[in-house]
């Protein structure tokens, strides 16, 4: 069968299988495990990184500390993992479940808990909804502020004024009503309230003194 196990602890099984370094394992036709501790299982599986695991027909694990599992899977980046037939992990410290044009979904993913956990679509949707809520609040606030800014102030020589204002921003419209009064020749007070269709309310008040 021409199997070769050339170093201490090496195991080679299959025609032309080669386990050429210490504690390597090569199983299958032309399987090759060439770095200490590497494992190659499958027809022409190649575990050539230091150390690596290649399982599956034509699987290749050439990046140091890489793992390739599946027919034709390739883990060529350092410390990379290729999972599934045809998957390619060619960047260091990555896990790949597909290849360009042959991507796979990862299903049954639990919600992430720790800072470095993956998140699932449910969590992303919740974040999207929260962002949407904040956006609506912010846009409503801008519209209400604009409506309040449109309220007129009591004219010179007058003592009291009522007014209304309208504001619109990013599709959100607000209405404001308010009053201002001249309590002395040099002092004016002002009060206003604004609301939107989203049932939010903004109140402002101010006092001015001039000389």
Is 51 in contact with 61 (CB distance < 8 Å)?
no
Distance CA 73, CA 82 (A): 6
pLDDT band at 1 (very low <50, low <70, confident <90, very high): low
Is 80 in contact with 89 (CB distance < 8 Å)?
yes
pLDDT tops 70 at residue 182: yes
Which of 58, 24, 22 shows the shortest CA–CA distance to 39? 24
Mean pLDDT for the chain overall: 94
Which of 80, 81, 86, 90 shows the shortest CA–CA distance to 98? 86
Supply the pLDDT for residue 198.
Answer: 61
> What does the pLDDT average to over 125-134?
90
Coil vs helix vs strand at 127: helix
Supply the pLDDT for residue 2.
Answer: 87
Distance CA 125, CA 94 (A): 25
pTM above 0.85, yes or no: no
**Which domains can be identified in the chain, with CATH numbers?**
9-96 (2.150.10.10), 145-209 (3.30.1300.30)
Supply the pLDDT for residue 133.
Answer: 86
- In angstroms, the Cα distances linking 39 to 5, 57, 118, 208 are 12, 13, 29, 83
φ, ψ of residue 130 in degrees (nearest 5): -65, -45
> What does the pLDDT average to over 37-52?
97
> What does the pLDDT average to over 170-196?
93
């Amino acid at each position: 069968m021409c199997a070769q196990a050339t170093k201490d602890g090496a195991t080679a099984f299959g025609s032309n299988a080669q386990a050429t370094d210490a504690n390597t394992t090569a199983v299958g036709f032309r399987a090759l495990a060439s770095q200490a501790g590497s494992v190659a299982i499958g027809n022409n599986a190649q575990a050539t990184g230091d150390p690596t695991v290649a399982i599956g027909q034509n699987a290749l694990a050439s990046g140091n500390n890489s793992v390739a599992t599946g027919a034709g899977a390739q883990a060529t980046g350092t410390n990379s993992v290729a999972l599934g037939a045809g998957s390619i992990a060619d960047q260091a410290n990555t896990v790949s479940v597909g290849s360009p044009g042959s991507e796979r979904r990862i299903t049954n993913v639990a919600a992430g808990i720790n800072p470095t956990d993956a998140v699932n679509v449910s969590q992303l949707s919740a974040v999207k909804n929260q962002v949407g809520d904040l956006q609506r609040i912010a846009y409503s606030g801008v519209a209400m502020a604009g409506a309040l800014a449109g309220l007129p102030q009591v004219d010179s020589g007058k003592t009291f004024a009522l007014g209304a204002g309208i504001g619109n921003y990013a599709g959100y419209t607000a209405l404001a009503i308010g009053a201002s009064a001249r309590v002395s020749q040099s002092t004016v007070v002002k009060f206003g309230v604004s609301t939107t269709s989203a049932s939010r309310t903004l109140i402002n008040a101010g006092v001015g003194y001039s000389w």
